[in-house]
Amino acid sequence: MNNTTTPLKKDEGRQGNVGQFGSEMKTKAQETGAAVVDKTKELASTAADKAREATSSAMHKAEDFASNVGNKAEDATASVGDSMKSLASTIREKGPHGGFAGSATATVADTLESGGRYLQEEGLQGIADDLSGLIRRNPIPALLFGIGIGFMIARATRS
């Protein structure tokens, strides 16, 4: 009977070692899993930060670009206004001064000069504000005008 009890003790020792080994493996697997989760969170956080930085940088570049384009458009508008005023003075100097032709020349020169002054003083923002005010005061004619322009564009592109 001694022989039967001795193998049980050996098996019990093995089971204890296997159980301890399994427990250690379980603990190591949990630690490794936790480390992987932590590393994944860290990488995701880093990627999100880099994406935010890239987006912010792109937005700043787009704002700078839009600002530069707007400034150039305002400068171009002021330049056109100056050219219109210069043309008005040239028409006054070289055009006829008397009679019907002189009156028409003076009217054209005055209109060009006032238009040039308007462009220089108001710029594109002033034009946009005035146009939106005109549309608010006269919505039905503005709507009909828009429909007419749309019809003309459709007709022109249809052929």
**Does residue 137 form part of some domain?**
yes
Is residue 33 situated within a structural domain?
yes
Does 135 fall in a domain? yes
How far is it, in rounded angstroms, from Cα 26 to Cα 18? 12
Q: Is residue 54 part of a domain?
A: yes
In a domain, 2, yes or no: no
Distance CA 79, CA 68 (A): 16
User: What's the confidence (pLDDT) of residue 72?
Assistant: 87
> Residue 4: inside a domain, yes or no?
no
* pTM of full prediction above 0.75: no
Residue 5, both tokens: 């009890």
> What pLDDT is attached to residue 16?
59
- Domain that includes residue 55, residue range: 11-158
CA distance 91 to 23: 101
Q: Which pLDDT belongs to residue 51?
A: 85
Place of tokens 């992987």: 36
- pLDDT tens digits in sequence order for the chain, 159 residues long: 445 444 444 455 555 577 787 788 888 888 888 888 888 888 888 888 888 888 888 888 888 888 888 888 888 888 898 999 999 999 989 888 888 888 899 999 999 999 999 988 888 888 999 999 999 999 999 999 999 999 999 999 986
In a domain? residue 3: no
Whether 91 is in a domain gets the answer yes
The residue among 79, 91, 143 whose CA lies nearest residue 116 is 79
In the chain, the number of structural domains is 1
